[in-house]
Structure 1
Amino acid sequence: MIVRSFADITDTDRHVRSRSGTWESKRIVLAKENVGFSLHETTVFAGTETSMWYAN
């Protein structure tokens, strides 16, 4: 079992921020951990515009 908090992720390589400063993503579970899925929380900040593309 993986137990991980946002405090464990913040300011690590799992905490990704856009160069433009419009969003950030906290990668909680990564595909390389071989649990069959990945999980992240992405925050798009209010008052900003962001173009996104999610490939399948």
Structure 2
Amino acid sequence: MIVRDMKTAANEGRMIKDPGGNWDSTRLLLKDDNMGFSFHITTIYEGADFRMHYQNHLESVYCMSGEGEVETLADGKKYPIKPGTIYILDKHDEHILRASKEMKMACVFNPPLHGTEVHNAEGAYELDADPVKS
């Protein structure tokens, strides 16, 4: 059994901050845990407005608090996000995420992240990032 809490995970180096200042992510479950997916609690800061394109990962995102929107770039559709909303990037959807109020999100990635990833120039996570060192 694996049991972790947010504070311990952050103290173990599992909290990653976006160099661009849009988010921080506490990675509670990672590739080394051998579950086949990773699980993160991510805070999207108020006023964040940034493009992502997970070419190497599928992601599900559940909003626990806050407000914002996600826009799919292929068709320009905008979807409101509020507590209780889930969006699933099942086709490696290129998208823009905007936070009008700071959002707390529960995120699942497949394949799992190693833990140190931040977005590259295309808004994706690399598959071969260095693992977290505890």
Q: TM-score, normalised by structure 1?
A: 0.79
Residue 11 of structure 1 deviates from its aligned partner by 4.5
**RMSD across aligned C-alpha pairs, in angstroms?**
1.5
Which stretches of structure 1, 4 residues or more, deviate above 3 A after TM superposition? Answer: none
Structure 2 partner of 1:37:
37
Higher strand residue share:
2
Give the gaps of 5 or more residues in structure 2: 58-134
Residue 17 of structure 1 deviates from its aligned partner by 0.2
Q: Deviations over 1:7-56 (max 9, x none)?
A: 11225421000112110111000012112221111221111212222223
What SS is found at the alignment partner of 2:40?
strand
The change in CA–CA distance for 1:2 and 1:17 in structure 2 (over 3 A counts) is same
The number of residue pairs the alignment matches comes to 56
Measure, in 1, the Cα distance between the counterparts of 2:21 and 2:12: 17
What SS is found at the alignment partner of 1:41?
strand
What SS is found at the alignment partner of 2:2?
coil
Q: TM-score, normalised by structure 2?
A: 0.38
Give the gaps of 5 or more residues in structure 1: none
Higher RCO (C-alpha under 8 Å, 6+ residues apart): 2
Higher helix residue share:
1
